[in-house]
Amino acid sequence: MPELKTIGLFMVTALAEIVGCYLPYLWLREDKTIWLLVPAALSLAVFAWLLTLHPTASGRVYAAYGGVYIFVAVLWLWVVDGIRPSTWDIVGSAVAIMGMAIIMFAPRES
């Protein structure tokens, strides 16, 4: 079960990062209010804090997190942007998730 907890934590982390970047995008590209920068900054602070909750080396966490970020970004593409992912988006996301699993869950010597 620790694997599911790790994946869930990574997914929440990715969501915090994407929201923290999407809100300034709305301000800059969609002419929304500058006040979106306040929740964006908070979201990015939560993102950084969430990365510290993993019980392994930071470099390993950052590397593995990238795979989950790709997966969540493709889900964002579908759910928020309303663009159905292509077969290649799905294949690429699956490869990224497999990379994350190898990095995080491979047996290691103590």
CA distance 15 to 61: 16
By CB atoms closer than 10 A (0-12, 13-18, 19+), residue 14 is: buried
The answer to whether the CB of 93 falls within 8 A of the CB of 74 is: yes
Average pLDDT, the chain: 94
For the chain, the C-alpha Rg in angstroms (whole number) is: 15
CA distance 7 to 13: 10
Q: pLDDT of 82-99, one tens digit each?
A: 999 999 999 999 999 999
The answer to whether the CB of 78 falls within 8 A of the CB of 56 is: no
- Number of domains the chain contains: 1
Is residue 80 assigned to a domain? yes
Is residue 6 assigned to a domain? yes
User: Helices in 30-86 by DSSP H: which ranges?
Assistant: 37-51, 58-79
Is residue 110 assigned to a domain? no
Q: Is the pLDDT of residue 110 over 70?
A: no
Is residue 43 assigned to a domain? yes
Segments forming the whole domain that contains residue 57:
2-105
Is residue 9 assigned to a domain? yes
**What is the arithmetic mean of pLDDT over 66-81?**
96
